[in-house]
């Protein structure tokens, strides 16, 4: 139950952060992810480093078994899943396989591509990653 609410919380936090911070004051960093580039690294990757450091600090602060260890591990776990899903499966970084035909993964892909259709930072959609609203499940949208 705690794990589940942690995952939901992280997804909500990430969606809000992506919507109002990355597509807001920090757009100049995040735009490197939305602009086409052949370079293997993007300035946008500093967000990965940023959340990784937060997770590590929380874990280090709470060692050996303080409450922040769990929070830090949760953030780290979510961050890794996000990286695998968003960077490797969707954007094919470090991965060359075609997109799996799994219905859920197809919907995740469709939703994230809808997000990438908007290159400007105003009027966007689909800032989340793992929770797929019904309209992205159908192939026609
Ligand atoms: Zn974005
Ligand atoms: Zn993306």
Alpha helices in 37-102 (DSSP H): 46-62, 67-82
Q: How many domains does the chain have?
A: 1
Nearest ligand to the CA of 26 is 1
The count of other CB atoms within 10 Å of the CB of residue 75 is 20
Q: Give the residue-averaged pLDDT of 46-63.
A: 96
Asked if residue 18 is part of any domain, the answer here is: yes
Q: Give the residue-averaged pLDDT of 100-117.
A: 92
Report how far ligand 1's centroid is from the alpha carbon of 25 (Å): 13
Asked if residue 87 is part of any domain, the answer here is: yes
Q: Which residues contact 27 (CB under 8 A, 6 or more apart)?
A: 121
The answer to whether 117 touches 126, Cβ cutoff 8 Å, is: no
pLDDT at 120 (0 to 100): 66
Angle at 127 between CA 110 and CA 133, to 5 degrees: 55
| Cα–Cα distance measured from residue 131 to residue 12, given in angstroms and rounded to the nearest whole number | 9
Report how far ligand 1's centroid is from the alpha carbon of 126 (Å): 9
Q: Give the residue-averaged pLDDT of 63-88.
A: 93
- pLDDT-based confidence at 74, cuts 50/70/90? very high
Asked if residue 49 is part of any domain, the answer here is: yes
- pLDDT-based confidence at 141, cuts 50/70/90? very low
pLDDT at 101 (0 to 100): 85
pTM: 0.90
| Cα–Cα distance measured from residue 94 to residue 84, given in angstroms and rounded to the nearest whole number | 10
Nearest ligand to the CA of 23 is 1
CA 83 to chain centre: 7
Report how far ligand 2's centroid is from the alpha carbon of 91 (Å): 7
Q: Which domain holds residue 129?
A: 2-30+43-136
Tell me the torsion sign for CA atoms 78, 108, 37, 88: positive
Nearest ligand to the CA of 18 is 1
Asked if residue 38 is part of any domain, the answer here is: no
- pLDDT-based confidence at 34, cuts 50/70/90? very high
Percent of the chain clearing pLDDT 70 (strictly above): 96
């Amino acid at each position: 139950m705690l794990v589940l609410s942690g995952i939901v919380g992280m997804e909500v936090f990430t969606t809000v952060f992506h919507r109002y911070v990355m597509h807001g004051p920090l757009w100049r960093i995040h735009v490197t992810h939305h602009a086409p580039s052949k370079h293997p690294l993007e300035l946008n990757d500093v967000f990965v480093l940023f959340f990784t450091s937060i997770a590590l600090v929380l874990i280090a602060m709470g060692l050996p078994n303080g409450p922040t260890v769990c929070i830090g591990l949760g953030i780290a776990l979510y961050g890794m899943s996000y990286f695998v899903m968003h960077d490797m499966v969707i954007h094919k970084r470090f991965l060359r396989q075609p997109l799996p035909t799994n219905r859920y993964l197809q919907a995740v892909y469709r939703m994230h591509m809808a997000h990438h259709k908007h290159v400007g930072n105003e009027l966007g959609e689909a800032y989340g990653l793992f929770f797929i609203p019904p309209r992205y499940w159908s192939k026609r949208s």
